[in-house]
């Protein structure tokens, strides 16, 4: 009789222990599922918000989020400021803005060689630009104007519903003089439904004329081509990668909890 009672007690103890383990396991699975669900939903919301709030324009090696001020250059590992950001300043004002504490601090004014690098990244295999005055050097993407940003609004009767022109200045010499010391790039797009985006490579402006163009008070302002080295050339991890890291953390926590359960058996 004692043996039967003892066996019954052992059986009940075993059943209770088994129930406890199974109950803990079910709770653990539910906890893991709910956390994964939260992570996935958060990632989806983040991706949806980013796609709604920003438009990313890519032309060959250049990419710009239109909500930001910079153009990323994967060919030369540089960041270029949008032409719409630098417009309206004279050369002296631009130099001051690139100094310590200035709004363009860390950036440099482009020289002729830098302007050629920009063109190479923008035009890719179609780049035929060289140091030639007043010449159409290439035809490229209709998105180029959207990429660099609005840097010129004509005051003439012909409106930008028919055509679009963006302009950026660059230096021909370290010490610009009054004559033939500034070059400029033009992106001219005809908006008639055809594929027509012409890139003009021009040299030979005086600094005085360049300043007048840059600071024009008729709404026709243009700006200087500015750049700096891209210290964040390696892309940031995506939302899915972050979700994967979180899932790995959940698995590690699950194993730790199971070890604790086994230790109490």
pLDDT tens per residue across span 6-23: 455 556 666 766 667 677
pLDDT of residue 256: 59
- Evaluate whether 82 touches 122 at the Cβ level (below 8 Å): no
The size of the chain, in residues, is: 265
CA separation for the pair 63, 106 (Å, rounded): 20
Q: Which of 29, 45, 20, 43 is nearest to 250 (CA)?
A: 29
Q: Looking at the predicted structure, is the pLDDT value of residue 200 above 80?
A: no
Range 101-109 average pLDDT = 94
Structure tokens given for 84: 């719409």
Q: Looking at the predicted structure, is the pLDDT value of residue 187 above 80?
A: yes
Question: 171 vs 158, which has greater pLDDT?
Answer: 171
All structural domains of the chain with their residue ranges: 2-53+240-264, 56-224
pLDDT of residue 197: 55
Q: What are the pLDDT digits (tens) for 60-94?
A: 999 999 889 999 999 999 999 999 999 989 999 99
Residue spans of alpha helices (H) in 54-88: 83-86
CA 130 to each of CA 50, 112, 119, 141: distance values in angstroms, whole numbers, following the listed order:
39, 10, 10, 19
Range 135-152 average pLDDT = 79
Which residues have a Cβ under 8 Å from the Cβ of 83 and sit 6 or more positions away? 148, 149, 150, 151, 166, 167, 168, 222, 223, 225
Range 209-223 average pLDDT = 79
The CA-based diameter of the chain, rounded to the nearest angstrom, is 117
Which of 19-23, 211-215, 250-254 holds the top average pLDDT?
Answer: 211-215
pLDDT of residue 84: 92
The percent of residues in the chain predicted with pLDDT above 70, rounded, is: 61
CA 117 to each of CA 74, 141, 245: distance values in angstroms, whole numbers, following the listed order:
11, 17, 38
What global pTM score does this model have? 0.64
Range 107-114 average pLDDT = 92
CA separation for the pair 175, 173 (Å, rounded): 5
């Amino acid at each position: 009789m004692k043996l039967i009672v003892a066996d019954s007690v052992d059986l009940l103890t075993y059943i209770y222990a088994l129930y406890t383990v199974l109950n803990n396991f079910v709770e653990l699975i539910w906890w893991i599922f709910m956390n994964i669900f939260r992570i996935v939903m958060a990632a989806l919301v983040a991706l949806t918000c980013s796609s709604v709030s920003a438009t990313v324009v890519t032309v060959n090696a250049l990419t710009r989020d239109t909500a930001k001020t910079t153009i990323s250059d994967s060919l030369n590992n540089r960041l270029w400021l949008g032409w719409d950001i630098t417009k309206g300043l004279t050369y002296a004002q631009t130099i001051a803005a690139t100094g310590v504490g200035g709004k363009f601090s860390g950036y440099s004014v482009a020289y002729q060689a830098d302007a050629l690098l920009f063109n190479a990244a923008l035009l890719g295999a179609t780049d035929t630009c060289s140091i030639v005055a007043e010449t159409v050097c290439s035809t490229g993407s209709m998105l180029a104007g959207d990429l660099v940003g609005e840097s010129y609004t004509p005051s003439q009767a012909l409106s930008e519903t028919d055509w679009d022109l963006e302009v950026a200045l660059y230096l021909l010499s370290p010490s610009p003089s009054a004559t033939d010391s500034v070059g400029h790039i033009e992106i001219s797009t005809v908006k008639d439904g055809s594929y027509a985006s012409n890139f003009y490579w021009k040299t030979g402006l005086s600094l005085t004329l360049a300043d007048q163009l840059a600071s024009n008070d008729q709404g026709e302002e243009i700006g200087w081509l500015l750049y700096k080295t891209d210290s964040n050339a390696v892309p940031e991890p995506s939302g899915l990668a972050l979700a994967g890291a979180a899932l790995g953390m959940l698995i590690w926590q699950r194993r730790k909890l199971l070890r604790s359960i086994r230790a109490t058996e």
